[in-house]
Structure formats: structure tokens, C-alpha cells
Structure 1
């Protein structure tokens, strides 16, 4: 009984939440002119829960179906009268009432967590009317098409691809390759949105730094394409350089969580490299600003041809890396090969060997080599897709950061981390 009371309480709470939004939106309407407000929606949620309880107790699902049909008929009739009186053609109130009834039933006979999440999402969606309508007025067809293409790539194509490697070496995993392609497109699209909201220079910088938390290579590709389109390459190179710094810091965070002892070997070199990248990125950003694009024709946030070419390149390199790793001598060589495009996989693979087949020094070397080869991979992408004025500053910054990291690694002492053991095995 206590469980049933709690579930009925959740059904009532869902109605209250949606009714609060509906009542607030119509709070200035005179009494008696509204079909449903906070009380009606609350009762609707409870009513759905009660009908579901009766249906389960009587083992007759038809009771719930009949209740839903009867409620729909009565609620829609009253809403229809209100619409005629107000000359309103919106059906949102009717759909919201049906949603509350069904979610109330789900809270009793289904997953109560899904019902609670659905009620919250329904209330948020109803409250976001002005925001969503304003977005529709501002969005262009090119932006809508890009969002639809991204949705197809993610929701339709990605689940259909094989999730296991299809080559003898285990390197070419179609789903992983396509996931990286989707990730690249998503970062480019989010960067485009950031530019629209924050302005060109700040939007590119924020979008690049945020995207680098996931993939600095994808960010470099997106920025290189923007530079190839004719934008000022200096701030784009600065954003790519700072994105590289964020990527190195992300790897340092992975090492700190998984095997902090390795930071005793690689930590100071990583910090020196990050400092070099940050300084160079700041200098590049100060060299100019991106031209405002508010009056220009909207540009496709991402194009399929370069993305597909990049996916093909990534698949080839992944396959070659997997094949070469079987013949590579030692952990360091394997990290150098596999770190070209996926530094996280290379680093985690090396950290797993700590304490079993590799010591701290060897794993530290492997982490640094993976970072170096990943930086080389970013430069390869930048050189293949961007102009010289974009990739040359990035190459200079990468070389200076690498030199600073190497100097710190050779000149500064390595320190121990007593008692620190890896958490991956």
C-alpha cells in the first residue's frame, strides 16, 4: 500500500508540475475562462494513476483504455469550446492533458523513473515555447538541413553499423569510425552555433576549447576547413593551439585518475608542453579577429564530403596501426603507432600494463610518445585540409611545446608517487 501511495503521489506530482506551467501561462485570464489549470492537470495525473491501479487490480487493461478514451473525449470537448471562444487553433493543451494522464498511469504500472523524467521533460518543453518559437524564426534552412543530416548520421546510420572489427588485426571497427565522424560533425555544428551566439572570434574560441575536451583532432579539422574558406587564419590557429593544450590536459587528467604514479615521470613534461601551447595560442589570437558574418549568406556548418574523406583516412590509419602494433617492439612503439588518431586509447592501453609487464618509466615514456604522435596526427589533418597560414603557426607552436616538454623531461628530476597503483587492470 505504501508503494501504491507513493506511485499515486508521483502521478499527482506530475500533474501538478505540468499544471503549474499551464496555470502560470494563463494566470492573467479571468476566472471561469480556462478549461484547465493547475488543479485540473493535477487531477488528470492522479486520474491516470487511479485508472491504471484499477486495471491492474482487475487484470483488465480495457479499464485503462476506456478511461483514456473517456477522458480524451471530455477534455477535448471542453478545450474545443474554449478554442472557439478564444479563436485559438492550438492543440497543445489537449496533448499536454493526454500526456499527463498517460504519465500518471505509467507512474503506477510502469517505470516510475521514466514517468518522473517524462513529466519533467513535458513541463520543460511547455515552458520553452517562446524560446523554441524564437529559434524557429532565426534558424535558416541550411542550419536545419545540417541538424537533420547530423540526426540521420547519429540515430539511423550509427546503430546499423557493425560494432566489431572486420579486419584481421582488429583495427577497423565501422561503428567506431562512424562515431568519430559523427563527433567531428557535431563539434563543427556546435562551433557554428557558438559563433552565432557569441560572435565569430569568441564563438570559435569557446567552441574549440569545449570540443577539445572530446577530440582536439576533430576541432583542428573544423578550424582548418574554416580557414580554407577564407577566414583570418591567425585566430583560428590560436584556437586550434589552445584546443591542443586542452587535449593534453585531458590526457593528464586521465593519467591522474587511472595511474597517478605515471605523473611522476611525465607530469612536468606535460605541464611544460601545455604552457608552451597556451603562450603560443594567446599570441596567435592577438594577431587578429575573424570577420563578422552576420550580413553574409549562411554557410553549411559541415559538409559531408570532407567528413567522409576524413572517416576513410581514419579507417585506413586505424587498420594500419592495428596491423603494425602486432609487430611493434614494446609498449612505447605501440603507443607511438596507435596514438596518431586516438590518444586516449593509446594512453589507457599503456596504463593497463603498469605493474604487470611495464614499469613506471616505460609507461611514462609511452604516454609522452602517444601525445607526440597525436600532435603529429593533428598537424597531418591541418596540413591536408587547411591553408599554409593556418597549419604553419600550429606546427611552430607544436614544435615549441614539444621542445619545452622534452627539455623538462630531460632536465627536471622524475619523482615518485609512493603507494599509488593503477586502477585499471
Structure 2
């Protein structure tokens, strides 16, 4: 009896929560002009709970089915009359009423925690109407296709792939590789969405932080090109009106190159933190090995980036990478590269031991740090955690040097030199922390 009273209370709470949102939205309507409000939805959920309790007591599910059908007819008829009077085609209120009745019944005959969670989710969706409508208006076809592609990749392709290694060295597991590919692309897609919402030109800070979630290398290259373009396009006459001493102490385009270099340093910080997050999700046991060095490097990147932006007077950042991380061709290339590197790493470890993992991780990390890190994290059984952590750090260091080479090739000295200083300082800090960790 006590359990039934508790379940009836949960059902009533669900209805009142949903009714609170419905009543608030129509609070300006005159009395008697609303089909349903807080009391109606509360009673609807309680009615569903009572019908479910009667069905369970009588041992007949038909009681609940008939009760649901009768409620649907009555509630739907009132909603139809309201829609005619208001000249509305919305079916939301009618469906919400049916869902509230069903959640009340679920609270009695099913999992009451699931019913309470469903009620909270229903109220949250109803309260987010304006946000969701704005999102749909801003959503492009490419982004919708990406969401559908993610659903297909996760719910259809992933379960069909074999969950076993198919190579002699135990490195090529199709389902595992595809899962890591989808996970990495999803993290990148979140950064892409954030960039779309906030805008790509909200200053060097937003551009560096948000763009680096997609690709820190792409952000560095974009900033290097922006620095080079700003240096080449700024006329010498711009500084002619300034005092000679000011011109001699403020090289051409320095004010724009410094913030861009700072943004690139912040992008490097995000890259290190993103890799640390992957380790935390996929192999937490490796975290004590690599986290001190990685966090020390990230802290130095953050300090140097903030200092360069502050000394450069802010400035306007270049647009971060707008590439959709769910483009099919780059995604397949990533999966193929991941498969090749994973198989090669397993073969090298099997032939030459754990020491060979450092070389393969550093080599692949120059081109793609995610591939290198994920390949190292997969080697759990034959490789000790210390070797895996060192391989992750080697991939991060190699990727940092690769970004620096790209910056030197594509950007001016005013951009490359500050970034080189930040990178070397981060490598030194990470190296010292790593030596202290490894003993």
C-alpha cells in the first residue's frame, strides 16, 4: 500500500510539472479559455496512475487500454474545439496530454524513476520551444545531414561490424576502430556547432578555443595565413604618422600577429586538454602517467597565449576551421589511417616490444594526434600503462612541433617566433613534469 501511494504521488508530480509549463505559457488567457492547465495535466497523470493500478489489481490490461482510449477521445475532442476557435493547427497539447496519462500509468506499473525522468524531459522539451525553433531555422542541410549520418554510423553500421581482431597481430578490430572514429568526429562536431552558434569571428580567444576542438593544426594554419595576409596588406604609410620611436619599437603588423600567435597557443592548450579527455574516457588507467606532463604543458600554453593576446591589445581573430567533421571523405580517410596505424603499432609492438610504440606514435602524431593517441590507447594488454602514457606524450610533442613547422612556413616571423617560444616553454614544462612523474 505504501509503495502504491508513493507511485501515485510520483504520477501526480509528473502531471503537475508538465501542467506548470503549460499553464505558464497560457497564463495570459482569460479563465475558461484554456482547455488544460496545471490542474488538468496533474489530474490526467493521476488518472493514468489510477487506471494502471486498477488494471494491475484486476489482472486485466484491458482496463488500462480502455481507460487510455476514453481519455484520448475526451481530451482530443476538447483540444479540437480549442483549435477551431483559435484557428490553430498545433497538435502539441493533445500529444502532451496523452503522454502525461501514459507517464502516470508507467509510474504505477513500471519503473517510477524512468517515469519521473520522462516527465522532466517532457517538461524541458516543452519549455525549450523557442530555442528549438530558432535552432531549426539556423540549421543548414549539411548540419542536418551530419546528424543523420551520426545516427546511421552509431545505430546501424557500428552494431554490424565484427567485435574481434581480424589481423595476425591483434590490432585491427573493425568495431573498435569505427567506435573511436565516431567518438572523435562527435567531439569535433560539438566544437563545430559551438563555432556556428557563437560565430567564427568573435575575437582570437573564441576562434582559438572553439576552433581547436575541431583541429588545432587547422586553427594554427589559419591564423598563420591571417598574420601573413595582414602583414602584406598593411601599407607602410599607416605608421608614417606615428612618432619615429613608436614605429621603431612596434614592428609592422606586430599588433595583429601577437594576438594571433596567442590564439594559436590557446588552440594548442585545447588540443592537449582534448587528448587528456580522450584518455580519461577510454583508458583512465593511463591518466596518472601522462596527465602531469600534459597539464603542465597546457598551463604554459594558456599563460603564454593569454600574455600574447593581452600584450597585443586584443585584435580580431581569423575564422576558425569551418569544415564539417562529418564530411564523408575525410571521415573515411581518418578511419583508414586509424586502421593502418593501429595495425602497424600492434605489429611493431609484437615484433620489437613496447619501446617501438614511442617511435610509431611520434611519427603518426606529426600528421594527426588523434590517430596516434587512439592507436596507443588501444594497446592495453600487451603494453604496460607507462609505455602507453609515454606514447601519448610523444604524439602530443610531435604534433606540437608539426604545428610549429606549419606556422613557420605559412606565417611571418612576428607570428612564428612568439608561437615557437610558447611551444618550447610548454615542451620544457611538460618534459620536467614527465621526468618527475616517471622518477
TM-score bucket of the superposed structures, by smaller chain? 0.7 to 0.9
Distance 1:115 1:35, change over 3 A: same
Q: Does the 8 Å CA contact 1:35/1:82 hold for their aligned counterparts?
A: yes
Matched residue SS, 1:290: coil
Structure-2 separation of matches of 1:245 and 1:21: 42
Shift of 1:169: 2.0
Shift of 1:35: 1.1
The residue that corresponds to 2:173 in the other structure is 173
Structure-1 separation of matches of 2:59 and 2:44: 22
Distance 1:102 1:260, change over 3 A: closer
Q: Does the 8 Å CA contact 1:163/1:175 hold for their aligned counterparts?
A: yes
Q: Is 2:339 the partner of 1:315?
A: yes
Q: Does the 8 Å CA contact 2:104/2:115 hold for their aligned counterparts?
A: yes
Q: Does the 8 Å CA contact 1:273/1:405 hold for their aligned counterparts?
A: yes
Aligned length: 387
Q: Does the 8 Å CA contact 2:226/2:318 hold for their aligned counterparts?
A: yes
The residue that corresponds to 2:427 in the other structure is 402
For residues 355-370 of structure 1, the aligned pairs below 5 Å read: 367-370=389-392
Q: Does the 8 Å CA contact 1:171/1:319 hold for their aligned counterparts?
A: yes
The residue that corresponds to 2:234 in the other structure is none
For residues 21-420 of structure 1, the aligned pairs below 5 Å read: 21-200=21-200, 201-208=204-211, 211=213, 219-220=215-216, 223=219, 227=222, 234=260, 237-247=264-274, 267=292, 273-279=297-303, 281-282=305-306, 289-291=316-318, 300=324, 302-329=326-353, 331-334=354-357, 337=360, 341=371, 343=373, 346=376, 367-376=389-398, 388-389=409-410, 398=423, 401-406=426-431
Shift of 1:124: 0.6
Q: Does the 8 Å CA contact 2:35/2:79 hold for their aligned counterparts?
A: yes
Shift of 1:310: 1.4
Structure-2 separation of matches of 1:176 and 1:57: 48
Matched residue SS, 1:327: helix
Cα-Cα RMSD: 4.1
Shift of 1:260: 9.3
Structure-2 separation of matches of 1:250 and 1:271: 11
Structure-2 separation of matches of 1:179 and 1:229: 33
TM-score of the superposed pair, with normalisation by structure 2 = 0.73
Structure-1 separation of matches of 2:358 and 2:63: 63
Structure-2 separation of matches of 1:91 and 1:260: 50
Distance 1:19 1:414, change over 3 A: closer
Q: What runs of 5+ residues in structure 1 fail to find an aligned partner?
A: 212-217, 417-425
The residue that corresponds to 1:18 in the other structure is 18
Distance 1:271 1:49, change over 3 A: closer
Distance 1:135 1:284, change over 3 A: same
Distance 1:75 1:229, change over 3 A: farther
Matched residue SS, 2:30: coil
Distance 1:160 1:132, change over 3 A: same
Structure-2 separation of matches of 1:343 and 1:90: 50
CA displacement 1:333-366 (0-9 Å, x = unmatched): 446546854547857978x99xxx98xxxx7676
Shift of 1:115: 0.8
Q: Does the 8 Å CA contact 1:249/1:274 hold for their aligned counterparts?
A: no
Distance 1:135 1:231, change over 3 A: farther
Structure-2 separation of matches of 1:78 and 1:122: 21
Matched residue SS, 2:103: helix
